[in-house]
Amino acid sequence: MEIIMRHLLNPLDFSTEEIDALLDLASDIEANPTSYKTVCSGKKLATLFYEPSTRTRLSFESAMLNLGGSVLGFASADSSSAAKGESVADTIRVISCFADICAIRHPKEGAPMVAALHSSIPVINAGDGGHQHPTQTLTDLMTIRSLKGRLSNLTVGLCGDLKFGRTVHSLIHALARYTGIRFILISPPELKVPDYIREDVLKARRIEYREVQNLDEAMPHLDILYMTRVQRERFFNEEDYIRMKDCYILDRAKMKLAREDMFVLHPLPRVNEISTEVDDDPRAAYFRQVQYGVYVRMALIMTLLEVEKPC
């Protein structure tokens, strides 16, 4: 019988039932971390990062080390043979000789898919250009489920750069599969969600959504506010970036407009879009979100390597 190797390239690669199972495993890891400390003994994770990262790369590494495995990899294209012109296809063939699983971040959309086509080990998309960031989405889903107790019947505000923000695209795709989800999309006109998200996801699935510019008006209606950074690295024109970079700044005054049971998420890094005065608000969940990211990546590594849950 042929064994089908699984990758995670897109947030929809897993069914909602598989995501529920993965989040259940992540929650069990959170509750019983010592039970998992040797389950990946002898296994190696390669992190191939062609773009800068703090959270994703180090949380993958932390996840594998927590499972008793080992890590290897590179943190920039310049420190790999990509600088000499090696293709992603060739690199992944080589990495397949060194590791059991890999996480790849690349500025070009679709690069992790190319890697998966040439790989003999599971490939995880750790962010490709302005396209998708599925492990951030799993992290966001675990955070929302842990804080709100559900992934359905929620009004979710997404604020900032909705055009280039891959975490936003992935989260809309993922949440659109749950019942009773409503989106309020808060952005300047130049940074609205791409047409394919509006047409192929929101309209195609008949999801209730509104596109607005004013964050204050949206605040009282939200269960979750997902803030994002305006990403300098995605702009072709510095003038446009400077004009839009501070278009939304969440501060204490804006938080007063929100419900007591609303939570603020942000994939991080933040620049100015959340004032540090919000950090002490119990509804500010963005650093807790980082911790959930480790549990979820531990569960994902176990799932893709088909490692049994300890008894």
Identity (one letter) of the amino acid at 254?
Answer: K
Region binding ligand CP by CB under 6 A among candidate stretches 72-80, 141-149, 257-265, 267-275:
267-275
Rule CB under 6 A: say whether 136 interacts with ligand CP.
yes
In angstroms, give the least distance from the CB of 305 to ligand CP. Answer: 22
Judged by CB, which is closer to ligand CP: 209, or 292? 292
Closest by CA to 130, choosing from 13, 233, 244, 270, is: 233
| Residue type, position 53, single letter | S
Secondary structure E strands in the chain: 44-49, 70-74, 101-106, 123-128, 154-159, 181-186, 208-212, 224-227, 263-265
Give me the half-sphere count of Cα atoms (radius 13 Å) on the Cβ side of residue 241. 12
**Shortest Å, Cβ 4 to ligand CP:** 28
Q: Is the CB of 157 or the CB of 293 nearer to ligand CP?
A: 293
Q: What is the DSSP letter of 59?
A: H
Residue 55 annotated in active site: yes
Q: Report residue 203 as tokens.
A: 């309209």
By the rule CB under 6 A, 76 interacts with ligand CP: no
Q: What's the closest the beta carbon of residue 101 comes to ligand CP, in angstroms?
A: 18
122 or 267: whose CB is closer to ligand CP? Answer: 267
Q: What phi and psi, each to the nearest 5 degrees, are found at residue 308?
A: -70, 145
> Any catalytic annotation for residue 7?
no
Q: Do 270 and 203 meet the contact criterion of CB atoms below 8 Å apart?
A: no
> Is there a cis peptide before residue 269, judged by omega within 30 degrees of 0?
yes
CA 7, CA 28: separation in Å to the nearest integer? 23
The C-alpha atoms of residue 82 and residue 62 are separated, in whole angstroms, by 25
Is 84 one of the annotated active-site residues of the chain? yes
Interface segment toward ligand CP; rule CB under 6 A; list 11-19, 54-62, 227-235, 242-250: 54-62
Active-site residue, 232 included: no
HSE (side-chain half, CA atoms, 13 Å) at 18? 11
The residue within the footprint of ligand CP, chosen from 19, 48, 50, 56 (CB under 6 A), is 56
* Residue 6 known to be catalytic: no
Q: Are 289 and 140 in contact (CB under 8 A)?
A: yes
Determine if 53 is a binding residue for ligand CP (CB under 6 A). Answer: yes
> Which of residues 202 and 229 has its CB atom nearest to ligand CP in the complex?
229
Stretch that binds ligand CP, among 61-69, 112-120, 156-164, 262-270 (CB under 6 A): 262-270
Q: State the binding string over 269-288 for ligand CP (x if CB under 6 A, else -).
A: x-------------------
Q: Which of 44, 131, 133, 166 is catalytic?
A: 133
- Enumerate binding residues for ligand CP (CB under 6 A): 53-56, 127, 136, 267-269
- What residues are labeled active site? 55-56, 84, 105, 133
